[in-house]
Amino acid sequence: MESVTNIQKEVEFFDPIHDIIDYLVRCVQISFKNSRINEGEVRTAEKINMAFQLYQKSPLDFLLQFGKYLAPQHLKYFEELHLPGDSTRFQEYILELKVYHSEESKHKRVRNRRYKALQKMQSESDYFSEKQMMYRNPLLYEQLIGQYLSDDEIRERDGIDTENITFLNMILETVDRNQMRETKNVQMLEEDNEEQSESAHNCDNSAEIFKSKKSWGDFDTPDIKPNYLPEPRKQALISAPERNLLRQEFIQEMYNSFLEGNDVDFDYSNIDNDEQYDDLQQEAQDAEDRYFDSETNEVENLEEHMKLIEEYGRQDSKNSNETNSEDPLDVFMSHISNKLRGNSYIMFC
């Protein structure tokens, strides 16, 4: 009976911080760097102990270091903490983290990271080359670009680099082309099914009436001709500006597919969870937008801003003949940025 009572007490006094730290170490896999050179990797038990020691020393420092890696539901635990002394900064940072972990901020952050990754991949890989994008969405490519290419352009597009060709490259190229054909056939089937569903939905009940009058033993003759086989190719002729416009539309569609996370064979986790893709300038702009959209941005602030515009406008008139004078709008926005740093909290680190 005594052992049962002890277990109940342990359950009652169990601190959820242990589960939170376990989540950070095992699920998020936060890193700890060794201070000594050539020292082995920190073990899991050591990471848990180090994180707990940091929390005991300063919950604020714990949040500053690990707050961005918490799950949103973990913030409730820190909201209910009663810290000795002035905990104003602690509560303020919790509010910042709540904004950081909100769905809206997360969506913006992920989109920004994917966009930065897209820019990097454009220069460092062939993922967004025309051929690779054609492999990923062959039907859209054919509709917007392929059908308008001449036979010579197609041969040039599909040509193999004979100087650097290897047996392995030939095999990979064949696999890619076979996969592209299969993908295109599936896309065409899906498109036909959608069109047939729309047609069936818009039809009246005449087909049902006809079906009910059929005699017993009557059968429908199935159409055994596959409707996804490509027809003999005929080049469609359009002007060069129209071709360029359709090409840009295809490229934009492929960019949007990547940004929206629709590239099924791409592992987005390596980008979505990587802070190196954070666009600090965009984050600063988001923080500024929040300032101007906030409820604390009252009428007197707006009046102050208008006075500043007039002030810098007069300076512009005074210095219009000086070639090295700064643009008044730049000066004004610089002042606003300084004001932001003094009166608002930037949630991004």
The ranges assigned to domains in the chain are 2-101, 122-277, 280-343
- For residues 187, 191, 193, 194, the Cα torsion angle rounded to the nearest 10 degrees is 140
Nearest to 345 by CA among 74, 115, 175, 100: 100
- Tens place of pLDDT for every residue, the chain, 349 residues? 444 444 444 444 579 999 999 999 998 888 776 545 556 677 889 999 999 999 999 999 999 999 999 999 999 999 999 888 778 999 999 999 999 999 999 999 999 999 999 999 999 999 999 999 999 999 999 999 999 998 888 888 877 665 666 666 667 677 777 788 888 888 888 887 877 777 666 665 555 544 544 444 444 444 444 444 455 666 678 899 999 999 999 999 999 999 999 999 999 988 998 888 886 555 556 555 655 555 544 444 445 545 454 554 554 454 444 444 445 455 544 554 554 444 443 333 3
Total-model pTM: 0.58
CB-CB contact of 44 with 29 (8 Å): no
Residue 291's alpha-carbon distances to 185, 270, 279, 336, in angstroms, are 51, 31, 19, 10
